[in-house]
Amino acid sequence: MINKLLSNPDISIYREEKETDPKGLNKYIVSTPETRYIANDTEIFGIEYSEMLERVCSRIISAFEFITDLILDEGQTLIKNNIPSSLPFNVRESIFKAYDWNCIQTEFISTGTASTDEDEKLVVELNGILTDIQLIYADIVNVPGFFENLLSDVIEKIVEKKKQLRNIILIVFGSTELENILISFLEVCKMHFPSFETIEVFFLEAIFPSDEVQGTYSPEFITSKYELPTYPLERSILNDNGNRAYKPGDYLSSVIEYWTNIRDKAYEGLSYENLVNEKFPDIECSKFGKQNLMSLAEQHLVKLRRLSKCKPDSSLLK
């Protein structure tokens, strides 16, 4: 069940509540014109993509205290960024625009080599004067293992530094798989930090389904799927990563490969109706009328091939 907390042309915020949700885990679903566009249309990439996400984060942060009853403290707010995937969100700039804060501490997650083997591991530092930390992190969480390592390392470092963690605030494109991870980390945080309060997680447009677990969508997102017949077929936003912002040539190549595969399946006999039911069974395919999947894929590929002329260097220099 979702309950509407806020709605205007720029942003809608819903609270998702289940009887099984533990106290201290608060889940929201946020819908904005930008995130609907991003999730529906893979033609959004590069700087335009980053700027859209920055605007979205600013709106969420501006509404944060009204929605959650929590008060962010500039002196205790810590932003964690991992390179490159979370950087398109640019939370640091979003908070500055929302609150006019100039003293926000930001730390970056880099990789290092373990002394015992060649495997890479996360290296997290925690410096500065923060004592009672409110952690903010934004990302596309498509690799739960990485996210679990990230949170584990952050918690370990806070404990090591003898500091306190009060809140975790997440802004994510994520799935139902993330919910289970957060439930386990909520217990870890309560165990290590006596004053820990809540995990506040803002899912952008949906808590997407995973492992045959049904997802939860914003009403606006469902409605937006009917705007173009390609929208229900676009690849999941959870498959995107830093390339969409920083390596548009590589990103577009992968999208062209995806739609070429759809065209080939259409040639082999796959229908539009069957593919929509496979990709997005929550909508009524009949509203699109009769669609020729092969023609639709070919027309979309023509547009994508034009866009693919945008290379990482020329897109930034012209």
Mean pLDDT of 117-125: 50
pLDDT higher than threshold 50 for residue 318? no
Question: Across all residues in the chain, what is the average pLDDT?
Answer: 86
Lowest mean pLDDT among 107-111, 202-206, 219-223: 107-111
pLDDT digits (tens, 9 = 90+) for 247-257: 888 899 999 99
Question: What is the model's pLDDT at position 198?
Answer: 95
Please indicate, yes or no, whether the overall pTM of this predicted structure exceeds 0.85. yes
State the Cα–Cα distance between residues 4 and 165, nearest whole angstrom. Answer: 29
**Of 299, 159, 178, 179, which Cα lies nearest the Cα of 229?**
299
pLDDT at 87: 67
Which of the four pLDDT bands, split at 50, 70 and 90, describes residue 150? Answer: confident
- Sign for the CA dihedral angle at 181, 183, 186, 192 comes to negative
Share of the chain above pLDDT 70, in %: 88
The model's pLDDT over 22-50, given as tens digits with 9 standing for 90+, comes to 999 999 999 999 999 999 998 899 889 99
Q: How far apart are the first and last CA of the chain?
A: 48
Assign 3 a pLDDT band (cuts: 50, 70, 90): very high
Rounded to whole angstroms, how far apart are CA atoms 166 and 163?
Answer: 10
Span 298-302, average pLDDT: 94
Residue 11 pLDDT > 80, yes or no?
yes
pLDDT over threshold 70, residue 67: yes
Higher pLDDT, 106 or 174: 174
List every span in the chain annotated with CATH 3.40.50.2020.
2-217
CATH class of the domain at 2-217: alpha beta
Q: Give residue 293's pLDDT.
A: 97
